[in-house]
Structure 1
Amino acid sequence: MAAIIEFRLPTEEFALEETLDTHPEAQIEIERVVADDPDKITPYIWARADDFDTFEAALEDDPTVESMTLLSETEEERSYQMTWTGAIDFIVHILTEHEGTITHADGSVDGWELRVLFPDHESLSEAHNAAHEAGFWFDVTTIYGTGDTRGIQHGLTDTQRNALVAAFEAGYFTVPREVTLQELAEQQDSSHQALSEQLRRATGNLVESTLITQSDMTEE
């Protein structure tokens, strides 16, 4: 059975420490990660910041950012493809040597919260032991198997879960709808486009974590 570990770690142990220090209001959400190189990873992220011009300037100067490409943008969020290197080397080791997959990660000035999926408990245990032997610090919040529904958030970030729950409670998913997306956005103090994309990503994560099997992914 596959195993999942959720843990927290400081920015200096992972990525974007300098960017988040200079932009403490910024919020980072990793959508997915590609780890094909032993020295770097390619995350696809969503970012929120008060001033994207200065935020992107900080990213360009951040020693953990080798390159970045803007993929899309709204008034409140921007999506990037990046290449990270440097401080992320041990996370890359976990991904490449122990077959871990980052299924969720949120970053802020307070640190990173990650969820990593391993093919089995043995791989998770080996990665955990290797981290301690290397002096790598992180705060484990929970460890569970994929068959254990306790604590599983179905691949959703807290923001995505809150958006889905608010939409459900407001009657957005009823037929006919009891509230429009614009009305729901105003209730959530968000923009129409930002909430639409949040609900779309949340729905995609929910489908992937509850309906898509490993064989489905292999067939793709």
Structure 2
Amino acid sequence: MNVVVELRLPICDFALGELFSIRPDIRIELERIVPTGEQTMPFFWIIGDDPASVADVTVTDSLVDSIETLGETENGVLCRTKWSADGGIHNILTEQGATLLHAEGNRDGWLFRVRFPDHETTTRFREACDDASISYEVRRIYSFSNLPIQQYDLTEEQREALVTALESGYFRVPREASLSEIAETLDISPQAASGRLRRGLERVLDSTLFPPEEPSGVSEGS
């Protein structure tokens, strides 16, 4: 059963944290990864005022061989990292077959949201991090089967569509997945995927923004 874990790491426990000592005002977002057995987390965004000046900095951490600037947008600078050695949390995630759903950092630390194949994998991940002296705090842990759907009156299909879109980065800026890609993952047409997303979002927003009123406890005719 898939397990999602949200982790908080100190700046120093991920190699790119050195960039915050140079520019504490920036924010870094790592591109989502799926385990492939190849190098992981090579792409990340630097977001802030004049982010290109940070991308040109040489990082002295032994895990980072180089940082290359790939391009600039109004949202920041896209960079590619070349890791120089095995080790670090990025390699541990790959070894455990985990999927990085979201990761971002600022001068206060790193936040990772990771999906593991099962609870046994999370145990092996913790043991590997202990061996590598990587510290982290677990903020939240849950399985997809425990995600509330009755609270929002979602159907299983709507929840599946929303989870797939969220994991794929469909709602992120810049968007990391197209509607066609979401539809292909769900094995439905783009029109059907769009409908599930719209209806699912409508129900979530309706339940969140307009929750049912608490009963007053006073019956009619009192």
Alignment TM-score, normalising by the size of structure 2: 0.62
Distance 1:55 1:100 in 2: 29
Question: What is the match of residue 18 of structure 1?
Answer: 18
Question: What is the match of residue 66 of structure 1?
Answer: 65
Question: What is the match of residue 214 of structure 2?
Answer: none
2:185 paired with 1:212: yes
Question: What is the match of residue 80 of structure 1?
Answer: 79
Question: What is the match of residue 92 of structure 2?
Answer: 94
Q: For this pair of structures, how many residues does the alignment match?
A: 171
Secondary structure in 2 matching 1:200: coil
In structure 2, relative to structure 1, the CA distance for the partners of 1:131 and 1:53 (3 Å cut) is: closer
Report % sequence identity. Answer: 30
Distance 2:68 2:28 in 1: 15
Contact preservation (8 Å) 2:75, 2:174: no
Post-superposition offset of 1:199: 5.8
Deviations 1:27-54 (A, max 9, x none): 11112347746xx644221221212342
Distance 1:108 1:126 in 2: 27
Alignment TM-score, normalising by the size of structure 1: 0.62
Secondary structure in 1 matching 2:124: helix
Contact preservation (8 Å) 1:41, 1:83: no
Deviations 1:57-90 (A, max 9, x none): 32x234243223333312341212222356x823
Contact preservation (8 Å) 2:26, 2:51: no
1:116 maps to which of 90, 114, 118: 114
Tell me the amino acid that sits aligned with residue 26 of structure 2. A
Flag the structure with higher strand content.
1
Distance 2:74 2:84 in 1: 29
Question: What is the match of residue 103 of structure 1?
Answer: 101
Contact preservation (8 Å) 1:7, 1:113: yes
In structure 2, relative to structure 1, the CA distance for the partners of 1:213 and 1:136 (3 Å cut) is: farther
In structure 2, relative to structure 1, the CA distance for the partners of 1:204 and 1:29 (3 Å cut) is: farther
Contact preservation (8 Å) 1:42, 1:83: no
Secondary structure in 1 matching 2:134: coil
2:127 paired with 1:129: yes
In structure 2, relative to structure 1, the CA distance for the partners of 1:61 and 1:126 (3 Å cut) is: closer
Deviations 1:106-151 (A, max 9, x none): 011111100111111111122123434554310100111122225x
Contact preservation (8 Å) 1:69, 1:80: yes
Contact preservation (8 Å) 2:20, 2:107: yes
Contact preservation (8 Å) 1:42, 1:84: no
